[in-house]
Structure 1
Amino acid sequence: MSLIRQVWILIMGTIVLASAGSVLMSVWTARGSLETQLSMKNNDNAQTLALSLSQQRGDAALLELAIASQFDTGHYQSIRLVGADGRVLVERTAQVAVRDVPAWFVDQVPVHPRAGVAQVSNGWNQIGTLELRSQSAFAHADLWWSSVRMTLWALGVGVLAALIGHLAVRRLRGQLDAVVDQAEALTQRRFVSMAEPATPELRRVAQAMNMMVGRVNQFFQEQSRQVDQLRRQASCDALTGLAHRGHFMAVLESELGREDGAGETQIVLVRLLALADVNRRLGHLRTDELLRSIAAVLAEAVPGQPAPLVAGRLNGSDFAVLHPRALPARELTEALMQRLRTVVEGLDDVAVVMSATGCHRDRPVAELLATADRALAVAEAAGPFRCHLDGIDEAPVQGGEDAWRRALLDTLMAARIQVQPYPVRDARGVLLHQECPLRLQLVEGGPLEPASRWLPMALRTGLGSDVDMAAVALVLTAIGADHQPRGVNLSPQSLADPHFLPRLRARVAAAGEAARLLWLEVDEMALQRHPESLDELCRLLRPLGVRVGLEHAGDRLAAIGRLLEAGLDYVKLASTWTAGLAGDETRRLWLRSSVGMLHGVGLQVFVEGVRDPADLPALWAAGVDGVTGPAIR
C-alpha cells in the first residue's frame, strides 16, 4: 500500500472516529440531561400531587378523582397510589407513541428517568405512597432532532477537515512525487537535481540525493574535461586547433564509407604560399597568428552554408575543409577566398590559393586526395588568390525539390524500401543486435540507394520523419518475424517534428513484445540541437523496452551534463576516433578514458565502422562492449 494511501486512510479514519465520537458523546450527554430534567419534574409533580391528596382526608373516591383529574390534564405515563399494606389503591397509565422518531433510535437510546415518589397521609396516619412518571416520548423526539442536527454539523466539519486534509496530502504528494521521480531518474541513469521540499523529512532525503547527484556531476565533469583534453591531443593541431592530418583523413574516410553520410561533399584545399619566406619576413609569432586566423576562417560556416564537416591542417602551409554540397562549389570558394583576402590584407607578398574537388561515396581516399592535390597545383600555377574546381557538377539536382519530393513519396507509397543489416558483436562474437540502415529504390527497377544519396533531399523536402517512420515499421515487422534485435537510425531533424514522437510511440507500442528488441539511435549532434526532444524520446520509449542511444559519437562527449540527464542506454563511437588505434597510444588513452566515463553512468559503449582487425585487441582492452564494421564481418 502506498504511503499516500496510508496517509489518506489515517486522515479519513481520524475524521470519521472524531465525528462519530463527538456525535455519540453529544447524544449520550443530551440523553442524560433530559433524564435528569424529567426525574426532577417527576419528583416535583409527585410532591405537589401528594400534598393535594393529603387534603382529601383519606376518602377513596376523592383520591381517585384527584388522581384522574391530574392525569388527564398533564402528560404522564403512569400515576399510581399504593397503600400502606402494599395494595394498589389507584392507578392510571397511558402509552403514547413516539412519532417521527425511528424505532431503532428509541431502542438504542432509551430515556429512563426516575419516577417521582411522595407520601400521602391523613393527618398522622399514612395513606400510601404515590409514584408518578411523566411521558418520555417528547424527550425522544427532542433528542432525535438534536442528534440529527449534531450529525449534520459533524458531517460538515468532517467534510471541511477532509478538504483541508486533501490539500495537505496533495502538497505532500507533490513533494513526495518529486523525490520519487528523482529516484526513478537515477534508476534510469538520469542524474537530475530537484528543488528541496518544505517537509523536513523529505527535505533531508532530497538534500542527500541532490548532494549525490552533484558529486556525480562534478566527478564526470572533471572526467569529461580530461577526456576532452585527450581528444584534442589525439585529434587537433597544437597551433591552430584544427584536426591534424591523421584525424582529418580518418574523418574523410568515415564520411566516404558511411551509409548515412553527407552524400555529395566537396573537399576544399587551401595553401599559404611560400610559408618559409613569410615566416622569415613576419617572424615566428606573427606567422603563427596568421595561421590561426586562416584556421578560424576555414572552421567557421560560410553565410548560407552549413558548418563544415571537418577542417584540418594537413601540413605547415596546407589546410583542408570537408563541406557538404549545400552551396555550389564556386559560390563557396569565392566566399572563402574573400574572407581569406581580408585576413592577409596589409601583409606584403602573402597570398593563398584554393581548390575544390567533388567527393563521392566509396571513392578511394588516396585517389581523391591525389585529384585534390593536382587541382591545388593548377591553382598555384595560375597565381595568387586563384581557385581551381575539379570534378564538381555545378548544375542543381535535376528536377529540383518538387521532383525529389514526388520520388520519395512514390517510393514510400510503393514500399520500395529495404534495410541492410550489419551485425554488432561483442568480444566473444555474440550478436548483440543488427544495425539496419535504410535503402530506397527511388526509381522503379533501379538500384537500392544508401542514405548518403537520398537523406539530404529527404531532409530538405521535410520528409525525413516519414522515412524514419517507414524504417521503424519495417524493422519492427522483421523483429516480429524472427525475434532478432535490430537497430534503426533516426535523423535529429525528425526529433524536431512535433508530430513525430507521438506517431513513433504509437507505432512502437502497437508492436508489443517486438518493441523490447528495438534499438533506436540518433546522431550525437542531437545532444546540442534537440536536447529536449532527445529527453522526450527516452521518456516515451524506454517504458516500452526500447533502447535509445547515440551514434557517430566522440566529438561532443564533453557535454556530459546532457548525457547524464537524457537517460540513454548506449553510445556508438564513430570510426573516426578508433581508426589506426593499434598504433596510436594517444587515441588508446582517450578511448580508455571515454569508455570508463561512459561505463560510470551505466552506458554501453560500441564502436562503429571498424575496418582493421588489428584494432580489435585494443578495443576489447579498452572495455568496449561491441563493435561493427568490416573487421568482424
Structure 2
Amino acid sequence: MAGMLAKSICQQRGAITLQSSLLLFTGALLVFILAAAFVTSFGHFRDYVADQLGDHARDGATATGLSLSNAIDGSDKVASSSLIDAVFDSGRYLSIEYVDLSGEVVAGRRTALQGTASPAWFIRLVTLPVPMAEAEVVRGWTRLGKVQVVSHPGRAYDDLWRITVGLLVSVLVIGGAGLLALFLMLRRLLRPLKDVEAQARALGQRDFRKRVQVRSTRELNQVTEAMNQMADDLGQLFDGQGKLIQHLRKVNNEDLVTGLVSRSAFDQRLKAELESEERAAPGVLIMIQLGYFADYTRAYGRSEGDQLLKQIAGGLKNFVIQHPGAFVGRRTGAEFAVFMPGASAVDVRVWAEELIAGLDSIYADLAAPMDTLVHAGLAVTADGLGARDLLAASDEALRAAQQRDESGCWLAENSLETHHNMETWRMIISQAITDSKLSLWLQPMVQGEAQTRVHYQVFSRIDTVEGVLKAGVFVPMAERLGLIMDIDRLLLQRVLERLAAHPQERLAISLGNASVADPAFRNDVVASLREAGALVGRLWVGIAEQTIHHHRKEVGLLVRELVRLGVPVLVDRFGVGGVPFSYLKNLPFQALRIDNSFIHKLDSHDENRFWLQSVVAIARSRGVKVFATGVETATEYSVLCSLGIDGAMGYHLGRPFAAGQSSTGEA
C-alpha cells in the first residue's frame, strides 16, 4: 500500500502543486479584479476630465461672446482682437476665433498642444476629445457672428496622468500585498501536505517512524491523522509479518533449547555446501560430544541441563563468528556439529583443540565437582564424498576420540592433509591479487517458465600455479586472512569495466563480511561507484544476512550510500543469518536472495516451502523482490515459479561461464 502511494507521488512529480494551483487561481482572480477596478476607475476619470475640458471651452466661449456683444463693438476688429488676446493669454485654450456671418475670421489666436508633463505615448494612448464650444456675437437685435473656442487639454492630460500613476501604484501595492498574504497563508495551511508527502516516501522505503505533527485546517488535520494511523498500522503489520517469518524459521530450522541450527536444517545446509558445484570446496566437519551429560541431567535436572547446553551453544556461536562461512548446529542431546568451509585439516585441528578446551572449561565450571569430558571428531571433505559419508566419517572420528579418558579431538584416518595451510594460502591469494589474476564467471538469474534473464550473478576465480580456484575455495581463506577487501576491490573494478563494455547487461556481486565492516573499503566502493556514473544502476550489490547481523551499523552506512547512488542492494544468503526480519523496515534493500539450503529438494520439504511462500508474500507487500539460488532440478524450479519468485539460478537453469565466453560455456 505504501509502495503504491509512493509510486503515485513519483508519477505526479511533473504536475503543478496544489499550492501553486490555488495561488495561481486566486492570484489571477485578484489581479483580474484589480485590473477591472483600474480600467473602470480610469474610464471614469477620463470621462470626468473630458467633461471638464468641454465645460471649460463652453465657459470661455460664453464669456468671450458676451464681452464682444456688450463690452465692445464686435464690428471693431482691433477691439475684438485685443479682447481675444486678453482672454487667450489668461486661460488655457488651443484656439479662440471670432468668425463673421460669412465664415471669415475677424480675429483669433491658435497654439499647438505643448507644455505637458505627460509622456507622449500616454497622450497618444488616451487621446482626450477636444470639443469646440461656440457663442453668438450680437449688437442689439443684429447677429454679427460667433466665437469658436477650443480648450487646451494639456492640464487635463497631466491630471489624468497623475491619476493613472496613482491608480497603478495602488493596484500594484494592493495586489502585491494580497498575493504575498495569499502565498503565506497557503504555505501555512498546506504545510502538512509536504510532511504527508515525506511520510509517504518514507513508507515506500519501509520507514514507519515518520509522523506528521503540523496542524492546519480541519480537513487537512483529518488527512494527517489518517496518514499517521496508516503508518502505525503498517508498522505493526510489518512487525507482525517479520515475527511470523522469524517464528517459522525458528520452528523449521532452529533448536528450541540452544537456538542453534536444528539437525535437519544443518544436514540440509551441509548437503547444499557439498553438492553445489560452484560452492563445493575443501572443508572440515567437526562433531562434538559432551561426556557424562546424562549423569549431569540426573544430578541437576533437565532445566540445568538445558542451561548448560545454552552455555555451550554460546561458546560455539563465538567460535563460528571468528571464522566467516562456518556454521554450527545441534545434532541430538549433547552432540553438536560445526562445518568450516574452505579450511584445511591442519588449521582446523589447532582451532578445534582450542575450542574443545574452552567448552571443557565451561562444562567443568558448571558441573563441578562432577567429572567432565568434551570430545571432537574431525573429517575432511573429499571428491565424491557426500554429506552422509562426511557425517559418518566425523562420527567415527568422534568415537575414536571418546576412547581416551581426556578431552580432545581426533582426525579421521581417511582425512589426510591434502590442502594448504594458512601461510601457503596467504602466499597464493596475495600473489593472485598482486598479479591481478582474477577472472569473472557469470551465472544467469532467470524468471518464469520462459526463463527470461534478470541479470548475471558474478563469481570470481583466481589463477594459480595449481590451476583456477573457485570462489568457494579461496574466499573463506581470504576472509580469515584479511585479504577479502583487496579481492572485492579487484572484483568491483572488473565488474564496472564489464558493465561499461556491455551496456545491455545487468550484473550482481556479493561483498565479503570483512569488506563491509572496513571503513576504508566502504569509502573506496562509494567513490568508485560515484565515478562510474549512471551504469551503477545495472549493478546489484549483495550483502550477506550474517554480515547484517554482526555489523548492523556498518551495513546501514553502506546501504544508504549505495541507494543514494542508485545502486540496488539485496540481502544475500537470506534465512541463515538468524537475523530478525524487521531489519528490512529500516534499511532500503530492494531484494532478498534465499540461501540455497532452503531450495535443496524444496519439492519434498513442506516446511521450507511454506516458509518461502510466507517470505515471498511479505516481501511483495513491501515492494522487495525475492531471488533464489541453488536450483538443481526442474521440480525445484517448478515450485519456485508457482510461488511467484522474481528470479532463480542454479545448474539446472544455467551453469557459470567465463565472462569472455558464450553463455553456453560450462564451469
* TM-score, length basis structure 2: 0.73
Match for residue 504 of structure 1? 529
Match for residue 467 of structure 1? 490
Match for residue 293 of structure 2? 275
Question: Which of 236, 252, 260 does residue 234 from structure 1 map onto?
Answer: 252
Match for residue 534 of structure 1? 559
What's the offset of the Cα at 1:96? 2.5
Gap change, CA 1:487 and 1:460, over 3 Å in 2: closer
What's the offset of the Cα at 1:316? 0.5
Inter-partner Cα distance in structure 1 for 2:465 and 2:401 = 43
What's the offset of the Cα at 1:453? 0.7
Report the AA paired with residue 441 of structure 2. Q
Deviations 1:516-543 (A, max 9, x none): 6x6554433566632464355456447x
Is the 8 Å Cα contact of residues 571 and 605 (structure 1) preserved in structure 2?
Answer: yes
Is the 8 Å Cα contact of residues 58 and 121 (structure 1) preserved in structure 2?
Answer: no
RMSD across aligned positions (CA)? 4.9
Report the AA paired with residue 73 of structure 2. G
Q: Quick check: 566-575 or 483-492, which moved more?
A: 483-492
Question: Which of 413, 417, 436 does residue 438 from structure 2 map onto?
Answer: 417
Match for residue 94 of structure 1? 111
Question: Which of 43, 53, 57 does residue 28 from structure 1 map onto?
Answer: 43
Report the AA paired with residue 433 of structure 2. L
Question: Which of 559, 571, 578 does residue 550 from structure 1 map onto?
Answer: 571
Partner-residue secondary structure (3-state), 1:470: helix
Partner-residue secondary structure (3-state), 2:289: strand
Match for residue 245 of structure 1? 263
Inter-partner Cα distance in structure 2 for 1:114 and 1:445 = 115
Report the AA paired with residue 437 of structure 1. V
Gap change, CA 1:311 and 1:40, over 3 Å in 2: same
Question: Which of 16, 20, 24 does residue 3 from structure 1 map onto?
Answer: 16
Partner-residue secondary structure (3-state), 1:3: coil
Match for residue 628 of structure 2? 607
What's the offset of the Cα at 1:109? 0.9
Gap change, CA 1:296 and 1:350, over 3 Å in 2: farther
Unaligned runs of at least 5 residues, structure 2: 1-13, 655-667
Match for residue 607 of structure 2? 586
Deviations 1:119-171 (A, max 9, x none): 76768988776554431123324533554565456556656666666667777
What's the offset of the Cα at 1:47? 5.9
Superposition map of 1:136-285 within 5 A:
136-144=153-161, 147-148=164-165, 150-151=167-168, 154-155=171-172, 195-196=211-212, 215-255=233-273, 269-285=287-303
Q: Quick check: 254-263 or 374-383, which moved more?
A: 254-263
* TM-score, length basis structure 1: 0.76
Match for residue 476 of structure 1? 499
Is the 8 Å Cα contact of residues 464 and 494 (structure 1) preserved in structure 2?
Answer: no
Report the AA paired with residue 247 of structure 1. A
Unaligned runs of at least 5 residues, structure 1: none
Inter-partner Cα distance in structure 2 for 1:510 and 1:424 = 19
Report the AA paired with residue 233 of structure 1. V
What's the offset of the Cα at 1:260? 8.6
Question: Which of 281, 293, 308 does residue 290 from structure 1 map onto?
Answer: 308
Q: Does 1:66 align with 2:83?
A: yes
Gap change, CA 1:422 and 1:222, over 3 Å in 2: same
Report the AA paired with residue 2 of structure 1. A
Match for residue 372 of structure 2? 351
Inter-partner Cα distance in structure 2 for 1:152 and 1:92 = 40
Q: Quick check: 603-612 or 285-294, which moved more?
A: 603-612
Is the 8 Å Cα contact of residues 95 and 109 (structure 2) preserved in structure 1?
Answer: yes
Deviations 1:358-414 (A, max 9, x none): 86797754565456446645654554554668989997535969x956742530xxx
Deviations 1:259-307 (A, max 9, x none): 89798876554432112211221122222222233223333468x9368
Is the 8 Å Cα contact of residues 377 and 394 (structure 2) preserved in structure 1?
Answer: yes
Inter-partner Cα distance in structure 1 for 2:244 and 2:457 = 34
Report the AA paired with residue 595 of structure 1. V
Q: Quick check: 386-395 or 604-613, which moved more?
A: 386-395
Gap change, CA 1:400 and 1:311, over 3 Å in 2: closer
Match for residue 107 of structure 1? 124
Q: Give the share of equivalent positions with the same residue, in percent.
A: 24
Deviations 1:238-258 (A, max 9, x none): 222221222123334445567
Is the 8 Å Cα contact of residues 421 and 437 (structure 1) preserved in structure 2?
Answer: yes
Deviations 1:545-590 (A, max 9, x none): xx75433112469755554676655432112223344554333332
Report the AA paired with residue 525 of structure 2. F
Is the 8 Å Cα contact of residues 57 and 149 (structure 2) preserved in structure 1?
Answer: yes
Gap change, CA 1:138 and 1:404, over 3 Å in 2: farther
Inter-partner Cα distance in structure 2 for 1:248 and 1:205 = 51
Gap change, CA 1:587 and 1:40, over 3 Å in 2: same
What's the offset of the Cα at 1:211? 5.2
Question: Which of 449, 454, 462 does residue 441 from structure 1 map onto?
Answer: 462
